[in-house]
Amino acid sequence: MTWTSTDPGAERDLGTGPFRALRVRNYRMYSSANLVSLTGTWMQRIGQDWLVLQLSGDSGVALGLITALQFGPSLLLSMYGGVLADRYDKRRVLMVTQALMGLLALLLALLVVTDAVALWHVFVLAGGLGAVAAIDAPVRQAFVSELVGPALLANAVGLNSSIFNGARLVGPALAGLLIGAASGDTAPAFFVNAASFAFTIAALAGMRASELRRSPPVARARGQLREGLAYTWAHPDLVLAMTLAFVIGTFGFNYQVTIALMARERFDLGAEAFGLLSTFFAIGSLSGALLSTRRSVRPRQRFLVVSAVVFGVLTVISGLMPGYATFAALLVPTGAAALIFSVANNSFVQLGVDPQMRGRVMALYFMCFMGGTPVGAPLIGWISEHLGAPWGLILGGAVCVVAGVVAAAVLARGRRVRLEAGFAPPRLRLRVGPRVAAVPTPHLRAAEETLVGRASGD
């Protein structure tokens, strides 16, 4: 597949370093605006969770349900978003989705500030936001490759996660301060988020369209959703990544529920402490994302397995922490492990698909990663409410560990595997013998097809 661009410097060497993708003007504009918008998004998430606790009488089930409503639509709409990403101009689609999300945030802010808000309002608006986000997410994922091209894609994915977690570092703390200063009023957080979407829309409108590395659009046709599913199923490496994403996204990535309940129920603290705990988790996540920017090639499958197990173990240990300080401290390495796995898995999938299929495959990946949240979040909320907040972390982490071990067993089937541990320096490494039948990347598959074509011509 050939990437098209009228930018005379599109293929020039942009050097090395963890921030090399920022040398691309369009990506620099997008990422800067994204930092502002995501800060507002994290402020809304903290404000929304706190508002639900206020309106529901500290119900863990209600907190899990609001999370499920926000991420549940991805099960139904993400694949459609992937089709839109492959079929239409991604930049224009993003401008529409960003505007809609800004309007939904503004509506919630107005309901709160006028004292007209009820719990069902929050549920409905969270569902609406989730529906738009389900379309927006796969388009954004696929759009990154158009901004930077394949050579910088791994670095850009790592930088995107760094930006996401930089916003997570600032947003929750700022939301906690605003809510505390307003005596528990969450409206300021929602107003800030509504305004933040304007930055992303302005950045998208101001990009140089001629410098985008667009892949040719896929013509409208029947069966395009099935085609994306069949393509993924035909590649076992993608199936493994999707399965890990589903299990860990469902049972491990529920910190918006578990941290809130730990702060309010386990430690009996307020919004400021809740925001601070989220900030500690974000510090670790940002560290993990920055470490991931060093990667320039597709991760190996065994790296995905080891990072999944490490994340699960740290999650279990964090649930065993007896006090606020120790829990906060352990959130740092846990957040780092979460993002190392997440970035590696995202890069693994993006760099393993053909460009004309990227939108649909990334939509399926997003469905796997976030689609289990409607089941996982209420379940973890119910466990935390009835067994105690720590058990949501302990049991969720244990499931992640089991998933990693099972994935390791699948990889080990028919191959020689050994686990190496070291203490100076500390390290954990999974050694896997040669593959019986390697799954080629898109570049290798293209080369093989060329060779086959030449051979048949002879």
Q: Which among 256, 259, 241 has a CA at the least distance from the CA of 366?
A: 241
Q: What is the mean pLDDT of residues 147-154?
A: 78
Residue with tokens 């390290």, as numbered in its chain: 427
Q: Give the pLDDT confidence score for residue 14 in this predicted structure.
A: 55
Q: Which of 313, 308, 342, 334 is nearest to 411 (CA)?
A: 308
**The pTM is what?**
0.64
Contact predicate 165/157, CB 8 Å? no
Residue 256 has pLDDT above 50, yes or no: yes
Mean pLDDT of 331-360: 82
In this predicted model, what pLDDT tens digit does every residue of 10-58 receive, in sequence order?
444 555 667 788 888 889 999 889 889 989 988 888 888 888 888 887 6
* Rounded distance between C-alpha atoms, residue 430 and residue 424, angstroms: 17
Q: What is the pLDDT of residue 15?
A: 57
Mean pLDDT of 280-299: 77
Which three-class secondary structure state does DSSP give residue 332?
helix
CA torsion, ordered 309, 314, 317, 321, to nearest 10 deg: -170
CA distance 440 to 329: 41
Q: Is 13 helix (H, G, I), strand (E, B) or coil?
A: coil
pLDDT at 97: 92
| CA 424 to each of CA 302, 307, 427, 428, 430: distance values in angstroms, whole numbers, following the listed order | 22, 20, 8, 11, 17
pLDDT in tens, 119-148: 889 889 988 988 898 888 888 877 887 888
363-375 pLDDT, tens per residue?
778 777 776 766 7
Residue 423 predicted with pLDDT over 80: no
Pairing state of beta strands 426-432 and 417-423? antiparallel
CA 439: distance to chain centroid? 25
pLDDT for 456 beyond 90:
no
Provide the token pair at 205: 């409108």
Residues 70-109: tens digit of each pLDDT: 777 777 777 777 778 777 788 889 999 999 999 999 999 9
Asked if residue 449 has pLDDT above 60, the reply is no
Question: To the nearest whole percent, how much of the chain has pLDDT over 90?
Answer: 14
What domains lie within the chain, and their CATH numbers? 20-210+223-457 (1.20.1250.20)
| Residue 81 parent element (H or E) | helix 74-87
pLDDT band with cut points at 50, 70 and 90 for residue 418: very low
User: What pLDDT, on the 0 to 100 scale, is given for residue 451?
Assistant: 41
User: Residue 160 has what pLDDT?
Assistant: 80
Q: What is the pLDDT of residues 176-231, one digit of tens each?
A: 888 888 888 888 889 999 999 999 999 999 888 888 877 766 656 666 677 777 88
